[in-house]
Amino acid sequence: MTEPSPGPLSDLRVVEMGQLLAGPFCGQLLADFGAEVIKLEAPGVGDPMRQWGREKPHGRSLWWPVVARGKKSVTCNLRSEEGQDLARRIIADADIVVENFRPGTLERWGLGFEQLREINPRLIMARVTGYGQNGPYAPRAGFGSIGEAMGGIRYVTGNPDQPPSRAGISLGDSLAAVFATIGVLSALHHRESSGRGQLVDSAIYEAVLAMMESLLPEWEIGGYQRERTGSVLPNIAPSNVYPTEGGEMILVAANQDSVFSRLATAMGRTDLIENPKYRDHASRGVNMEELDDVIGEWTAAQKTDDVLEILHEAGVPAGRIYTARDMFADPHFAAREAIVRLAHPELGDIPMAGVVPKLSDTPGSVRHAGPELGEHNSDVYGRLLGLSDADRDALAARGTI
């Protein structure tokens, strides 16, 4: 593995306030590309993500080392005036603040955007919430699941004969964090010419809505309401999950005319190409179920590796439906360093997804796993604020850090 580069954001300082996933994932992305991310956590408690996750070897969360990777942990009681003053002193020389408290919380603490930009006009603040900073729903508590439902993704996820399903990950939180990161980078570009920071307002429901393709004009102009369709795309065929020998499954996507021709040839069924039922995109959509049965009968008679080799050789998009085990065994994951490993004093080597996307000249890197609570108090309070050991001990005794 090559020596990690400093990263294109290595000259930036980020102060992360908030907890769980929506804000902290934005901080993770910025840290991946080299930013110094100082995470402020409640003394003695820290981010609840330190306790989250189904599996907890050695009593340790396996989620925390990922979402807090590359960050510095500093304890700071933001609910106390002394803690708020410490936060302001850190933010005075920061480039970015990331937070995901309910709107109005930071203002009550004297840490709102307008208050902070008085001491740091170049400051960019990313605020990630369920409903955004204004509008009638802004004061409501807004978790990712509610944003997913409001943004439309929950309604169209799952099988048509079942209630709406969860995607299996915290999709709404993560999308809002990704859009917040895009907003931060855009604001940084603008700051180069203006010298002024600005507010980045990323709402979970809007981040989900932004991914909903043509859902809105389909309803208003076409009079069509998208519904749950399980594993298929309505009127897009063939594009489905198909069985293979031994009860395994593969995904095949061959709905484009030229690709369908290659699939039919690979199956030894060139008669399908000129069959009026399957001759073009529209006809295949109408006869989707019948066509899926034909393809499924062919795939079910073969081993997974054999049928995938045939399809790959023919230029037909197809692949396994990966689990974590498949990812660890796949040579393509290894070749692109899609999975990286970080040392942990108790958990050993921790595998996690690598940095995305890959930059040719200034790639990002994962510098370390999520830190211990308050691990960087001496560095930040001593190096940045010039507080002595005695000063820090006094602050700790008062419950400020």
Instruction: Please give the Cα distance from 36 to 136 (Å, whole number).
Output: 36
Name the phi and psi angles at 222, rounded to 5: -90, -10
Output the CA torsion 161→165→167→168 (10° steps): -110
| Alpha-carbon span 291 to 297, nearest angstrom | 10
Query: Judging by DSSP bridges, how do beta strands 71-75 and 36-41 pair with one another?
Result: parallel
DSSP state of 188: H
| Residue showing tokens 């369908």 | 260
Angle at 118 between CA 112 and CA 119, to 5 degrees: 100
Strands 249-253 and 318-320: antiparallel
Q: At what angle do helices 304-314 and 257-266 cross, to 10 degrees?
A: 130
Task: Give the long-range contacts of residues 163-166, CB within 8 A, separation 24 or more.
Answer: 164/228, 165/228
Contact between 71 and 34 under an 8 Å Cβ cutoff? The reply is no
CA dist., res. 229 & res. 183, Å (int):
33
Among 184, 189, 212, residue whose Cα is nearest residue 200: 184
Element (H, E) at 83: helix 81-91
List the catalytic residue out of 173, 293, 349, 391.
Answer: 173
3-class DSSP state of 128: strand
**Which residues contact residue 219 at a Cβ distance below 8 angstroms, ignoring those fewer than 6 apart?**
225
Residue indicated by tokens 């993500």: 49
The residue to which tokens 């709905």 are assigned? 255
Residue of 41, 22, 38, 42 whose CA lies nearest to 91:
38
From the number of C-beta atoms within 10 Å of its C-beta (0-12, 13-18, 19+), residue 357 rates as exposed
Q: What gap in Å lies between CA 366 and CA 42, rounded to an integer? A: 25
Active site residue 271: no
φ, ψ of residue 398 in degrees (nearest 5): -90, 0
Catalogue the active-site residues. 173
